[in-house]
Amino acid sequence: MRQKIDIVVTATPQDSTGGFDIFSDYVYANVWASVEALTASEKFAAHEFVSQCTHQVIIRWIGPAPSWQPESMYLPGSLISDANLNLQITSVGGLSGMAAPVWNPTPNGYTTDGSSSLAISWRNLGPPIQQTGIVHGMEVWFQGRQFQVEGVLNPDERNKLLILMCIEINDTMQRTPVPSGQGGLFTGTVITERLDGGGF
C-alpha cells in the first residue's frame, strides 16, 4: 500500500438561494492504498452499455463512522459515532459545541448540540448496522483521477482489509473537497493513516 488516496463524500447541500452547492465535497479519509487496474470491459444490458469495474483499491479497515468533534460544521445527514458507540445522524446541520453533549441513549431520540443559532439536532440510530463507513457512491481521488466506489468487500470477514471495487469517472469540473481543519462544510474527522502503518 504505497499510494496515498482521498476517499471523498460527494455532497450537494442547498445554498442560500435554494439551489445546490456542488463544491461542498469533503474528504472522509486520507489513507494508504494499493490502486490496481482491472481488465476494462463493457457489457450490453437492458439495451445500453454498462461499464464494469475498472480498478480495485485495497485499504486497511475503516470503522463505521468518525467520532464527534467540537466546534465543527456538520452537513445535514452527517453520521458520527457518539460516546456510547451509537450512530448519530444530523437532522439539521450546523456547528457543534465546544464540549460534547449528553447523548440521548434512546433509539430515535434527539440530542441538541451547541447553543447558537447554528446548533445541531442529532438523532440516535442505535448501534451501527453497517460494518464500515465506506459505502457505495463515495469516490476515490488519486493523482488527479477520480473513481466511483461501486462495491465494498471485506475479503476475509476479519475486518482487516477493505477492497473497493471502482469505476474511473471523468469529472471535468475537478472539484476540490474540503479537508479537515480548514473550515467549510465537512463531517467528523478526516481519518488519516500514519506512514508507519500504525493505525489511523
- The tens digit of pLDDT for each residue in 107-148 reads 889 999 988 888 999 988 887 656 677 878 888 999 889 999
CA end-to-end span of the chain: 14
Q: For the chain, which residues score pLDDT lower than 70?
A: 11-26, 39-51, 128-131, 170-200
Sequence ranges of the domains in the chain: 3-63+133-192, 73-126
Report the CATH number of the 3-63+133-192 domain.
2.40.10.270
Torsion sign, CA atoms 108, 112, 113, 116: positive
pLDDT of residue 174: 52
- Report the pLDDT value the prediction gives residue 176, as an integer from 0 to 100: 57
Confidence at residue 99, expressed as pLDDT on a 0 to 100 scale: 93
Q: What local confidence, expressed as pLDDT, does residue 38 receive?
A: 83
